[in-house]
């Protein structure tokens, strides 16, 4: 799992020269977990290494970054009011379409009927239907690019079912694999 996470690490770190230097790194925590964040998305995986001390290594070069990684425990331990499952294998065939939308920085809305509505800058839209258990929640707006990198990672890891947790439309949405070892949190986009 760690090799696949390292492959996708570039997608969860800020672009070179943007953001804090420490955010260019993978945070190997002493409990065997790793964290990677660009401040808009967070990748968290449990039990993926056996280092005994916390360390931050650059995601490309593996060089140690001697800075303190942000404490993100409060984000990981949120109380989620809504939980449901989606069939990830139904999403994977649409990732190429989603990738095109990502290029022009589109925003999408996840609705409680499990539709993922993508809007482009011209006002056009398309709908991706997600298959799973339905739940009641307020629409959640997110960047299409963040949804794409989340499900591209899950696809490479062979994830079949994704647990989705929502704590309100102004808090991060949490996507987790069926074994609860891998989590991707995505910050909302505020729409007025």
68 exposure class (CB count in 10 Å sphere: 0-12, 13-18, 19+): exposed
Domain boundaries, the chain: 2-76, 82-186
Q: Considering the entire predicted model, what is its pTM?
A: 0.89
What is the SS3 assignment for 185?
Answer: strand
* Cα angle, residue 60 at apex, residues 153 and 188 outer, rounded to 5°: 45
Per-residue pLDDT of the chain (192 residues; tens, 9 = 90+): 999 999 999 999 987 777 788 999 999 999 999 999 999 999 999 999 999 999 999 999 999 999 999 999 888 888 888 888 888 988 888 887 666 555 556 788 888 887 787 765 555 566 667 776 777 788 888 888 898 899 999 999 999 999 999 988 789 999 999 999 999 999 998 765
Per-residue tokens: 11:
């997608």
Q: What is the number of alpha carbons within 13 Å of residue 110 lying toward its C-beta?
A: 28
* Cα angle, residue 73 at apex, residues 111 and 162 outer, rounded to 5°: 35
Measuring CA to CA, which residue among 6, 22, 2 is closest to residue 14? 22
CATH superfamily, region 2-76:
DNA Polymerase III, subunit A, domain 2 (3.10.150.10)
**DSSP run (H or E) holding 73:** helix 73-76
**DSSP run (H or E) holding 85:** strand 82-87
* DSSP secondary structure of 9-67: HHHHSPPTTSS-GGGGEEEE-TTS-EEEE-SSEEEEESS----SS-EEEETTT--B--S
Fold match between domain 2-76 and domain 82-186? yes
CATH of domain 82-186: 3.10.150.10
Q: How far apart are the first and last CA of the chain?
A: 39
């Amino acid at each position: 799992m760690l090799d696949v996470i390292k492959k996708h690490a570039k997608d969860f770190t800020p672009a070179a020269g943007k953001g804090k230097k420490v955010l260019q790194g993978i945070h190997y925590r002493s409990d065997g977990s790793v964290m990677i964040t660009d401040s808009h998305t967070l990748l968290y995986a449990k039990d993926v290494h056996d280092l005994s001390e916390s360390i931050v290594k650059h995601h490309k070069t593996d060089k140690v970054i001697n800075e303190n990684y942000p404490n993100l425990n409060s984000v990981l331990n949120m109380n989620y009011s809504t939980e449901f499952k989606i069939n990830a294998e139904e999403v994977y065939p649409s990732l190429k379409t989603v990738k095109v939308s990502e290029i022009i920085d589109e925003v999408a809305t996840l609705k409680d009927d499990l539709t993922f509505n993508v809007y482009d800058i011209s006002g056009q839209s398309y709908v991706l239907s997600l298959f799973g258990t339905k739940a009641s929640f307020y629409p959640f707006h997110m960047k299409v690019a963040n949804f794409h990198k989340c499900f591209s990672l899950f696809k490479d890891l062979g994830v079949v079912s994704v647990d989705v947790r929502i704590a309100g439309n102004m808090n991060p949405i949490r996507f987790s694999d069926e074994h609860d070892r891998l989590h991707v949190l995505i910050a909302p986009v505020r729409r007025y």
